[in-house]
Amino acid sequence: MPSVKVEELTPESFRPFGTYANLLDPQSEFLGKKPVAFYRDMIPLAISNPCSLPSVSICLVEKRPLVVNISEYHSYTAEGNVSLDSDILFHVGPATPNGVFPKDAIRVFRIPAGVFVNIYPGVWHHAPFADRVAHVLCLLPERTYANDCIVKTLSKSDQLNIKI
């Protein structure tokens, strides 16, 4: 089975797949005065799903084998994710025509706890990997899982081992 090596997160390396911001150490402009500062609009999230009401969900991730064996994408909306309590490994791949999984273009990033990632519409991804229990907050339009989620269980030949 082919492998994909984990990469550290940088704006340049992640740019084809989305954007991110460190919510635990914000470095942007803010409103108010410390000790209370409001860091506004840190990550614009394109929500254009027919049910465009934003919804917060939790993906509870437990330790499992580091194998990309399932992936998904959303055609009409971005997806926001932030691990609340653990670093995670997150696979992404560029949007493709006709639902073809881009095996040779998959990348895996180490996302520190508290860093919010904005996954662009069409980008392949799935639940992250963690070496201990992780609570990952997901921001999507309500019922995206039912009306804009193409999930593909990968054949053995398309699966990838993650190398740390």
Q: pLDDT tens digits, residue range 112-130?
A: 999 999 999 999 999 999 9
Nearest to 111 by CA among 86, 88, 134, 127: 88
CATH number for 137: 2.60.120.480
pLDDT digits (tens, 9 = 90+) for 28-77: 888 888 788 888 888 877 776 566 788 899 999 999 999 999 999 999 99
Residue range of the domain that includes 7? 3-163
Q: What is the pTM of this model?
A: 0.90
CA distance readout (Å), 29 to 32, 58, 125, 162: 10, 28, 30, 36
Number of domains in the chain: 1
